[in-house]
Structure 1
Amino acid sequence: MSGLKRRKNSLFVKKPFLASGAGNPDDGLKRSLGPFDLLLLGVGSIIGAGIYVLTGAAAASFAGPGVLFSFVIAGFACVFAGLCYSELASSMPVTGSAYIYAYSTLGELPAWILGWLLVLEYGVAGSLVAVGFSGYFVSLLASFGVVVPTALSTPFVQSLPAAGGYSFVAGGGVNLIAAGAVLLMATPLLFGLRNFALVNSSIVLLKILVLVVFVVFGFSSIIPDHFTPLIPENEGGFAYGWQGVFRAASMIFFAYIGFETVSTAAAEARKPQRDLPIGILGSLAVCTIIYMAVAAVLIGIVPFRELNVPDPLALAVDHIGKPWLLFFVKVGAVIGLTSILMSTCYGQSRIFFAMARDGLLPQAFMKLHKKHQTPWIGTIIIASCMAFAAGALPITLLGDLISIGVAATFSIVCLSVISLRNSAPEIERPFKVPFGGFHIRGYWIGYVPAFGIFMCLFMITPLILDLATKAMNGNPLPVYLLLGFIGIGALIYVFYGHKNSKMGADEGRLVQGDIKPAGEVHQ
């Protein structure tokens, strides 16, 4: 076989499933997390900028009170992806999450694409959360009479209300508050997962308490007229109407990604087959209930057109007129968003750890600290990039980029379930997606993963159309950023990942007869 043909085949070489299922004991990561830790990890990742910040922006720019339907639509779409994640995570409890799932079922190139898309889901998500953190932190400082200069708390690129939604303009500032928050919150991750788990658990409990208090005290201040009309008449483009409801759903779609963070901790879970489904589906269910309650109270207190602010919950409490509650919510939001910053940086570092282990990224991303056994160099690099994005880009643009990455990632995960069911039907699956499936020419297609793929495509269609419209109307920045991100990923894979891939090298030696097939090695 020629070298060219070997290279072409290696694009789709698969990571041996048994090797993945074995958990890669040489990684050096400790199994220290139980089901409650994983549940809190998921809840801590889900509850963040989606409810503290983007609910207001989605209502003001797109859906009005109809944002309640947007949360239902986005949550419904995530259920199918969550079920698929649960099956794969219980079958392959290893570090790397969806990246490993794709590598074991679809091959190297799809795995690389998915791993690179996860940068949008984790790295960019962390930047978005930092921007939300900045808004509440500046508001909290103002309560003590400390005024932060606008140039230090607004991004270089700013989003402004415009016909059909919003547009982007260049500003004169850099959000150093957001950038500094990323670097500060990534620091505990350098000193061990146990420290992170303890800090995260405490913050998550406080964050839930803050939201519960907000709902309880805000319920009596709801003004029913604020829900009329429930879906405002369309004002052009994606501004209100059902068009706006679906556009808002695509914008807040990423707010549910916390359950995916749970799967990145598979290699550090004590009993992954049992604990991962509990963490994934449990966190999704808990957070959907919380999201709906908080969004209803928020919309009921403040007219939706006034909610395009960086701290909408604080604005709502200000309408209630309880100073102690206003202070409590601001403090809770600031502390609560810190757990998201840690979770996203943690998830991204573990995914790059797995990719570096396979040779697709430089070995610095998998180098463990001698004392704390954490991928410290990779964590520092990732946090620095997140800080740069947080300082330069607005929250609305970051949210759109993340949702595209999330939808693509979820689709590949659903496809991986279908592929693995057909290629390895005999393996043990402690958790299976329900409702079965159908066969086309002997190929099994599950109802749940198939509908999950459809829902993901359905979710991002309004977003893609909106970005295309913005580009044609003189606002091409989102499209340029997305194409640039894709281009950088392609260059890294072509000039480094594909050349240094360990699986690709093994396949080349296999063709020459130097090594045994993976199936023989693990028998």
Structure 2
Amino acid sequence: MSVGLFVTKPVEPSPHVDAGEPVEGSLQGEASLKRTLTATQLVLLGIGAVIGAGIFVLTGHAAAAHAGPAIVLSFVFAGVACAFAGLCYAEFAALLPVSGSAYSYSYATLGEIVAWFIGWNLVLEYLFAASTVAVGWSSYFNSFLGSFGMALPASLATAPLNVVDGKLVHTGGFFNLPAVAIVAAVATIGYYGIKQSAVANAVIVTIKVVVILMFVAFSIQYVNPDNWVPFIPENEGPGRFGYDGIVRGAAVVFFAYIGFDAVSTAAGEAKNPQRDMPIGILGSLAICTVVYIIVSAVLTGMMPYGLLGTPKPVATALEAYPALTWLKHIVELGAIAGLSSVILVMLMGQPRIFFSMAQDGLIPKMFAKVHPKHHTPHVGTIFVGVVAALLAGFLPISFLGDLVSMGTLLAFATVSAGVLILRKTQPNLPRPFRVPFAIIICPLGVLTCLYLFWQPFAENWVVMTGWTFIGFVIYGLYGYRHSRLRRQG
């Protein structure tokens, strides 16, 4: 039985493909995913997913509660960990340009049971991330409406449940209507096509990048270097400032970086994946890291870091300067657009992971159905949209956010290990992109991701254990018996 559990999927180098030519085989003559995405669109997909919650929501919380002005170092730490993993993703994405992301890579290197474990964790990364960001989107949207006296009542803009001392308690709210609405709208875009989704994402990315540049350009004159002293506040306990706080802050803002993984889920729809996937992954990661460092430095320089612990830290910093009130409204619009693009990319990624898992027989084959006209995994898109809307409507952002980071870190660590394993087991495979100094980079990717997972999230291990148990029950009852690879064997 152990041999069956760790059976690996054969790896074959993918041919160079042209636009519109499908590489992934269709199921029983069904329509397949269509290759329409360029390198520029892949970079924009990555930026669309990465720049959003990190700047508009998480930066202030991480600075106020954990790192202080050294939140800049937290972003550097998280960015370095992602760079190690990003290089590994780039090698896999060029070698195996398919839609399953870390799931597909694990299946080819570590075996079916590990692939299932990673695929189950990717549900945390994408499905829960979409819900988490939707809750943040709701806060900015309602705040913007409030500027014109049109804010929704709390009962319709607040989740009915919250986590207090590890227990779910009722907040008095009914459900988070704006969060549900944005998920429904974005899922509809995803249903009608990857091309339409990419175009919508490009427009949104342009808007939010312009807004961020405006924030930096007009706010930098209000930066007071005294607010950066001490740059690393004295440690006040576990995860509270000092070096420990920088690491905890890195784990919090790591949520912001998960988007570059979403680029790899679109590999099956890239025009020239061997060339474009590394550009999309590493290009978006580099651009976003620089942007995060600059914005976090300006934020902590504008006002004392202890005052930034709000759900809308950029708007909070601007509120302290009446001359920038006009910019605050623009930033709120930028946040609404920015968070929308994150939700868009997350809701594009999860159905495509389900698509790959269904093709392998590990989940019901309905998730592998492709719309004959729109060439999208439409059943998976509808399912993911409904579940994400329910999570966003009824659960708080804090509960969802930590689970997202945990699932992502495990996936990144596995991909980093998989590259080195495949180098040993199949050294002669042609690799259009190779991780430089893999013997060093890959282990560092594993260690940094596991370190970030191990330290800050100890209090959530019980939840993670329960999630893992549920996943293996599903695999035991369905995936193990319906695995296409095992049936062929």
| TM-score over 0.5 for the pair | yes
Q: 1:20 to 1:429 in 2, by over 3 A?
A: closer
Q: Report the Cα offset of residue 464 of structure 1.
A: 2.7
Q: Take 2:361 and 2:209, find their aligned partners in 1: how far apart are those partners?
A: 40
What is the total number of aligned residue pairs between the two structures? Answer: 477
- In the alignment, residue 307 of structure 2 is paired with which amino acid? E
Q: 1:232 to 1:392 in 2, by over 3 A?
A: farther
2:208 and 2:338 in contact (8 A); partners too: yes
Provide the residue aligned with 1:513 in structure 2. Answer: none
Alignment pair present for 1:18 and 2:12: yes
Q: Take 1:389 and 1:247, find their aligned partners in 2: how far apart are those partners?
A: 26
Provide the residue aligned with 1:511 in structure 2. Answer: none
Q: Take 2:331 and 2:390, find their aligned partners in 1: how far apart are those partners?
A: 28
Q: Take 1:158 and 1:301, find their aligned partners in 2: how far apart are those partners?
A: 31
Provide the residue aligned with 1:36 in structure 2. Answer: 40
1:21 and 1:91 in contact (8 A); partners too: no
Q: For 1:24-80, what per-residue CA distance to the aligned partner results, in whole angstroms no more than 9, with x for missing partners?
A: 242611110110010101111111111110111111221222211111110011110
- In the alignment, residue 449 of structure 2 is paired with which amino acid? C
Q: Take 2:220 and 2:455, find their aligned partners in 1: how far apart are those partners?
A: 32
Alignment pair present for 1:339 and 2:321: no
Provide the residue aligned with 2:420 in structure 1. Answer: 418
Choose from 444, 457, 480 the match for 1:464. Answer: 457
Alignment pair present for 1:449 and 2:450: no
2:363 and 2:478 in contact (8 A); partners too: yes
Q: Report the Cα offset of residue 159 of structure 1.
A: 5.9
Provide the residue aligned with 2:101 in structure 1. Answer: 97
Mapping of 1:115-194 within 5 angstroms?
A: 115-158=119-162, 170-173=170-173, 174-194=175-195
Q: Take 1:305 and 1:395, find their aligned partners in 2: how far apart are those partners?
A: 21
Choose from 57, 61, 77 the match for 2:61. Answer: 57
- In the alignment, residue 433 of structure 2 is paired with which amino acid? F
Alignment pair present for 1:367 and 2:364: no
- In the alignment, residue 144 of structure 1 is paired with which amino acid? F
1:57 and 1:307 in contact (8 A); partners too: yes
Q: Take 1:10 and 1:234, find their aligned partners in 2: how far apart are those partners?
A: 49
Provide the residue aligned with 1:351 in structure 2. Answer: 353
Q: Report the Cα offset of residue 169 of structure 1.
A: 5.2
Provide the residue aligned with 2:471 in structure 1. Answer: 489
List alignment gaps of at least 5 residues for structure 2.
Answer: 17-22
Q: Report the Cα offset of residue 390 of structure 1.
A: 1.7
Q: CA RMSD in A?
A: 1.9
Q: Report the Cα offset of residue 146 of structure 1.
A: 1.1
The residue matched to 1:17 in structure 2 has which SS?
coil
- In the alignment, residue 486 of structure 1 is paired with which amino acid? T
1:345 and 1:383 in contact (8 A); partners too: yes
**Residue identity (%):** 46
Alignment pair present for 1:224 and 2:218: no
Q: Take 1:447 and 1:195, find their aligned partners in 2: how far apart are those partners?
A: 40
Mapping of 1:42-441 within 5 angstroms?
A: 42-158=46-162, 170-173=170-173, 174-321=175-322, 322-436=324-438
The residue matched to 2:12 in structure 1 has which SS?
helix
- In the alignment, residue 302 of structure 1 is paired with which amino acid? M
- In the alignment, residue 449 of structure 1 is paired with which amino acid? C
Q: Report the Cα offset of residue 176 of structure 1.
A: 2.6
Q: Take 2:167 and 2:316, find their aligned partners in 1: how far apart are those partners?
A: 23
Q: Report the Cα offset of residue 182 of structure 1.
A: 1.2
Q: Report the Cα offset of residue 147 of structure 1.
A: 2.4
Alignment pair present for 1:499 and 2:487: no
The higher radius of gyration belongs to 1
The residue matched to 1:158 in structure 2 has which SS?
strand
Provide the residue aligned with 2:19 in structure 1. Answer: none
Q: Take 2:434 and 2:290, find their aligned partners in 1: how far apart are those partners?
A: 24
Q: For 1:107-158, what per-residue CA distance to the aligned partner results, in whole angstroms no more than 9, with x for missing partners?
A: 1111111111111111111111111101110110011111221222223343
Q: Report the Cα offset of residue 105 of structure 1.
A: 1.3
Q: 1:167 to 1:363 in 2, by over 3 A?
A: closer
Q: 1:363 to 1:25 in 2, by over 3 A?
A: closer
Q: Take 1:20 and 1:387, find their aligned partners in 2: how far apart are those partners?
A: 36
2:410 and 2:453 in contact (8 A); partners too: no
List alignment gaps of at least 5 residues for structure 1.
Answer: 1-6, 437-445, 468-477, 508-523
1:21 and 1:94 in contact (8 A); partners too: no
Q: Take 1:277 and 1:416, find their aligned partners in 2: how far apart are those partners?
A: 17
Q: For 1:390-444, what per-residue CA distance to the aligned partner results, in whole angstroms no more than 9, with x for missing partners?
A: 22333233222111111110111011101110111111111111125xxxxxxxx
2:319 and 2:328 in contact (8 A); partners too: yes
Structure 1 stretch displaced more, 11-20 or 198-207: 11-20
Q: For 1:446-492, what per-residue CA distance to the aligned partner results, in whole angstroms no more than 9, with x for missing partners?
A: 11101110111121222133x1xxxxxxxxxx455323321221111
- In the alignment, residue 108 of structure 1 is paired with which amino acid? E
Structure 1 stretch displaced more, 275-284 or 256-265: 256-265
Q: 1:389 to 1:483 in 2, by over 3 A?
A: farther
- In the alignment, residue 419 of structure 1 is paired with which amino acid? I
1:252 and 1:399 in contact (8 A); partners too: no
1:20 and 1:94 in contact (8 A); partners too: no
- In the alignment, residue 11 of structure 1 is paired with which amino acid? L
- In the alignment, residue 429 of structure 1 is paired with which amino acid? R
Q: Take 1:177 and 1:302, find their aligned partners in 2: how far apart are those partners?
A: 30
2:121 and 2:407 in contact (8 A); partners too: yes
- In the alignment, residue 55 of structure 2 is paired with which amino acid? I
2:117 and 2:468 in contact (8 A); partners too: no
Provide the residue aligned with 2:20 in structure 1. Answer: none
1:234 and 1:243 in contact (8 A); partners too: yes
Q: Take 2:224 and 2:259, find their aligned partners in 1: how far apart are those partners?
A: 32
- In the alignment, residue 355 of structure 1 is paired with which amino acid? M
Q: Take 1:209 and 1:394, find their aligned partners in 2: how far apart are those partners?
A: 30
Q: Report the Cα offset of residue 168 of structure 1.
A: 7.4
TM-score by length of 2: 0.93
The residue matched to 1:18 in structure 2 has which SS?
coil
Q: Take 2:143 and 2:183, find their aligned partners in 1: how far apart are those partners?
A: 18
Q: Report the Cα offset of residue 323 of structure 1.
A: 2.6
Q: 1:169 to 1:65 in 2, by over 3 A?
A: farther
The residue matched to 2:162 in structure 1 has which SS?
strand
The residue matched to 1:463 in structure 2 has which SS?
coil
